[in-house]
Every structure is written in C-alpha cells, then in structure tokens.
C-alpha cells in the first residue's frame, strides 16, 4: 500500500476519532499514526491509556475497567495501566468481601485485609470462632478453617464407624470423605477396602464376594440339574 497523503491521513484520523468518541471514549492523540501506531485515549471513566488503533477496532477496551470487572484474572502490571498498589488494594477488598460473606472475621491489622501477595497470611476467626490463618492462594483453592475441617472429619469418622458396626463390620483408621476408600474388618472375618457409596450398595470384601459367587454357581448348577431332570422326564 502506498503511504497515505495528508488528506487521506486526516480522513483516517477523523474516522478513528468518530468511532472512538461514539463509544464515550476520548481521543487525545492529534494525528493519524497508522493502524499499528499507538494512540492515547481515555475511557468513559477517565482512565488514560495507550493502545493501537487495530486493537481498539478488534474490540479491546479500557484494561483498567476490565481489571476492575474481573479482578482475579489480572496477569501483570504496567501494560494495562494498573499499578501494583491499585492491584493490591483491589485484591484486599475482594479477599475481605469473600471472607466476610462466608462469616469469617479478619482479626489482624485492625480488621482489614492487608494484601501484598497471594501468600500474605491473614489472621481470621472462622464462623465457629476458631483462630486460623489463610492466604489468598489457599482460600481461592477452596481451603477453609482447618479446625472446622478436623472436627467434621472426626464427626463423620464416628458416624461411619457406627454405620459399619450396624452391619457387623469394623472401620479401621480414619474416614476421609466419600471420595476416599477406607479399610474395614468385614463381618465375615475378612478384610475389605471400599468407598462408603459402594459399601452402602452392598459391596463387601473379596471373601464375601467369593462366597456369593459360590452361592450363585451352586444355584446355577441346581437350576441346570433341574432343567435336565425336566427334559428327561418328558
Ligand atoms: Zn476505564
Ligand atoms: Zn473453624
Ligand atoms: Zn466379607
């Protein structure tokens, strides 16, 4: 493509300005700078930044507004116009909100989350008043109060122990949740390992399975003999 003359450049600039300002943005650059040249603008909220015209046309909008909307997906500093401090404040607010929405109370730093990195430990009281420390990493991956967790595990271990006992079986060790198998002494005297769902469905140890199979085979043999007897009778 031959270089644009002054008139064409002006036309491009006017087009660009019109499109940008029709979205409530303001264009600060004063001249056409090419499709891939950077232009300075500010978004409807007044955030200033630079972007290439190509990117804007492709739909890229104010990175800071984007960041404020998404918070978490933020992937770096500088380029998108967010300073480290702004990021830390946004994360602190977000963390605080999430903690409080689940009934956790921040007790360090006069009740305010102080966020430096995703590994900064925050001292909290859980809804059951356990004192616990958590950082954003752990919280975001779903970790909650360790003491509540241990209590729940103790409780469910006890419940599972009783459930097994009603079937004449004995839980060995701890119950770690429905996704994990546990070992038990089976009512038949054998030893089994299974998950609670399978246990409830009647699955028992290998020895029981062996006996059930023998029982089934015996029934099958009896049925065959019976059939044979009937066929010879006729
Ligand atoms: Zn903005
Ligand atoms: Zn707790
Ligand atoms: Zn058994």
pTM over cut 0.75: no
- The ligand minimizing its distance to the Cα of 24 is 1
CA angle (71 as vertex; 69, 73 as ends), nearest 5 = 110
Q: Which residue has the tokens 């700078």?
A: 33
User: How many Cα neighbours within 13 Å face the side chain of 157?
Assistant: 14
- The ligand minimizing its distance to the Cα of 47 is 1
Q: What is the pLDDT of residues 189-212, one digit of tens each?
A: 999 999 999 999 999 999 888 887
Q: How far is the CA of 157 from the centre of ligand 3 (A)?
A: 21
Q: How far is the CA of 19 from the centre of ligand 1 (A)?
A: 17
- The ligand minimizing its distance to the Cα of 26 is 1
Q: How far is the CA of 123 from the centre of ligand 2 (A)?
A: 12
Q: Give the percent of the chain with pLDDT over 90.
A: 58
Confirm if 108 and 95 have CB atoms less than 8 A apart.
no
Q: How far is the CA of 225 from the centre of ligand 3 (A)?
A: 29
What is the pLDDT at residue 103?
Answer: 97
Q: How far is the CA of 66 from the centre of ligand 1 (A)?
A: 7
Q: How far is the CA of 76 from the centre of ligand 1 (A)?
A: 17
CA angle (68 as vertex; 63, 73 as ends), nearest 5 = 80
Region of poorest pLDDT, from 68-82, 150-164, 205-219: 68-82
Q: How many CB atoms lie within 10 A of CB 124?
A: 22
Q: Residue 34's Cα: distance from chain center in Å? A: 42
Distance separating alpha carbons of residues 16 and 35, to the nearest angstrom: 10
Distance separating alpha carbons of residues 102 and 111, to the nearest angstrom: 15
Q: How far is the CA of 95 from the centre of ligand 1 (A)?
A: 22
Q: What are the DSSP calls for 74-94, one per residue? A: ---SSTTS--HHHHHHHHHHH
Query: Taking the domains of the chain in order of start, what are their residue ranges?
Result: 6-67, 83-143, 145-234
Give the largest CA-CA distance in the chain. 111
Please list, in sequence order, all residues whose beta carbon lies within 8 angstroms of the beta carbon of residue 177, skipping any fewer than 6 positions away.
153, 156
Q: How far is the CA of 115 from the centre of ligand 2 (A)?
A: 22
Picking from 155, 116, 114, the residue whose alpha carbon sits closest to that of residue 124 is 114
Confirm if 148 and 130 have CB atoms less than 8 A apart.
yes
Q: Residue 75 — pLDDT band, cuts 50, 70, 90?
A: low
SS3 100: helix
What is the pLDDT at residue 191?
Answer: 95
Confirm if 192 and 204 have CB atoms less than 8 A apart.
yes
Kindly list the protein residues that place their beta carbon closer than 5 angstroms to ligand 3, a single-atom ion. Answer: 186, 188, 190, 204-205, 207-208
Q: Residue 133 — pLDDT band, cuts 50, 70, 90?
A: very high
Burial class (CB in 10 A: 0-12, 13-18, 19+), 182: buried
Q: How far is the CA of 152 from the centre of ligand 2 (A)?
A: 10
């Amino acid at each position: 493509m031959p270089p644009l003359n002054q008139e064409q450049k002006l036309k491009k600039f006017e087009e660009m300005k019109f499109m940008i300002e029709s979205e409530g943005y303001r264009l600060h650059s004063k001249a056409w700078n090419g499709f891939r040249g950077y232009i300075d603008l500010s978004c409807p909220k007044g955030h200033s930044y630079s972007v290439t015209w190509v990117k804007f046309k492709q739909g890229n909008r104010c990175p800071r507004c984007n960041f404020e909307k998404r918070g978490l997906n933020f992937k770096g500093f500088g380029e998108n116009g967010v300073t480290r401090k702004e990021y830390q404040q946004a994360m602190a607010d977000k963390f605080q909100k999430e903690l409080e929405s689940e009934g956790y109370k921040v007790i360090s730093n006069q009740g305010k989350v102080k966020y430096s990195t995703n590994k900064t430990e925050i001292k909290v009281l859980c809804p059951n008043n356990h004192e616990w420390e958590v950082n954003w990493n752990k919280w975001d991956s779903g970790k909650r109060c360790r003491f509540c967790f241990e209590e729940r595990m103790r409780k469910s271990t006890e419940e599972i122990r009783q459930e097994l006992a009603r079937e004449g079986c004995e839980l060995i060790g701890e119950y770690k949740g429905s996704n994990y198998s546990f070992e038990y002494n089976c009512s038949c005297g054998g030893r089994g390992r299974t998950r609670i769902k399978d246990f409830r469905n009647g699955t028992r140890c290998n020895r029981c399975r062996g006996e059930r199979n023998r029982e089934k085979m015996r029934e099958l043999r009896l049925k065959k003999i019976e059939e044979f007897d009937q066929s010879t009778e006729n």
